[in-house]
Amino acid sequence: MSGMWKWLIQGSAVFYVASAILPLLKSDAWWIRGWDFPRLQFAIFGLAAMLLLSFTTPGWPLHKLALVLLLAVSLALDAYRIVPYTPLVRLESLPADSDDPARKLSIFVANVLQDNDDPQPLLRLLAELSPDLVLLLEVNGRWMDELAGLRSSYPHHVGQPLENTYGIALFSRLELIDARVSHLVESDVPSIHGLVSLASGEFVEIHGLHPRPPRPQSGGTTERDAELVLIAREARDSEHPVIVMGDLNDVAWSHTTRLFRRISEMLDPRVGRGHFPTYPVAVPFLRYPLDHVFHSRSLRLVEFKRLPDIGSDHFPVYAEFSLEPEGRLSQESPKADEQDQKEARDTLRRAE
């Protein structure tokens, strides 16, 4: 093997190890948090690097042995992150026991892509699925005009169209109570909150979010993380069953999302089922899950699926739940410890 290939393999190995270890740092710097996203792809890359290093370079000098061990530890870290989102572990969101239609709630979540100029694939999909709630993200004034026809089927609606890719809109067949647009952390990043009244007369609390992603121009993820902490606390303390949904610009296995779930004690339908990657549509081998629907223990899962392409850079997701508070104790939720609570308080202080 030439010296160039040897250095390329070793350099790839070092790159992967760094990509696996950097997310362990509890920093909100964009260039650290960005490593959270394509962990499955990085793990495949790291496994290939370890195999190449082990079987195509001669001998076992100390530096090679150390690098292979670091690769093995890094792969174990990624397995810890990724494996819960495969059928290899037990389900977290248990299947519904009841078939009472009056206690069911179906949800459609889609980042429509503000620059997408063809609403027809979205409208056809909504006509086919006929969900109870439709949360749409990246809607601007043009999109709201295109969606005006939805109001006959969805008489309850609230939202704020914007031209900055953070517009948001919620359409509902069911009555919305105290539905409102809020700006929890940033004045130009709205979110939607309220109660939805089921046909049974019971209420479910809903939160629709689309915080900013980690990126150089934003400097860090403090605002995104703080928004998730605020909603996590509200969900934990609610007297109603809760659903948190949206494009969270974070993956299910990141430290931030796992902290959110421990604080909120909410369940993730992906656990034990699969990744259901939703972004980016155009690059299949780089996809990861950014679009989420989390729920509290009083809700059981009827269905969760990723939907077909609607011309956006995100796939929509569909979830249907059954309200079964009598079975809430059979679903185990994540729990926060004092260190988690301290981290949450620190995050909110940094965002002030």
Question: Quick check: 299 and 324 in contact, CB under 8 A?
Answer: yes
Question: Quick check: 110 and 135 in contact, CB under 8 A?
Answer: yes
pLDDT for 249 beyond 80: yes
- Take residue 91 and report the two structure tokens written for it: 């389900």
Q: Model confidence at 164, in pLDDT bands (50, 70, 90)?
A: very high
pLDDT value for 327 = 82
- Take residue 132 and report the two structure tokens written for it: 């109870």
pLDDT value for 1 = 54
| Mean pLDDT within 179-202 | 98
As a whole number of angstroms, the distance between CA 219 and CA 221 comes to: 7
Every domain of the chain and the residues it spans: 3-85, 101-351
The per-residue pLDDT of the chain, averaged, comes to 96
Element holding 194 (H helix, E strand): strand 191-197
Return all residues near 140 (Cβ < 8 A) that are at least 6 apart.
114, 161, 162, 163, 167
| Mean pLDDT within 40-58 | 92
| Mean pLDDT within 228-235 | 98
CB neighbourhood size of 349 (10 A):
10
Q: Model confidence at 59, in pLDDT bands (50, 70, 90)?
A: confident
| Mean pLDDT within 244-250 | 98
What is the CATH architecture of 101-351? 4-Layer Sandwich (3.60)
pLDDT for 257 beyond 80: yes
| Mean pLDDT within 226-249 | 98
Q: Side-chain half-sphere of 265: how many Cα atoms within 13 Å?
A: 20
Q: Model confidence at 55, in pLDDT bands (50, 70, 90)?
A: confident
Per residue in 138-158, pLDDT tens? Answer: 999 999 999 999 999 999 999
Question: Quick check: 281 and 49 in contact, CB under 8 A?
Answer: no
Rounded (5°) CA angle 238-241-244: 85
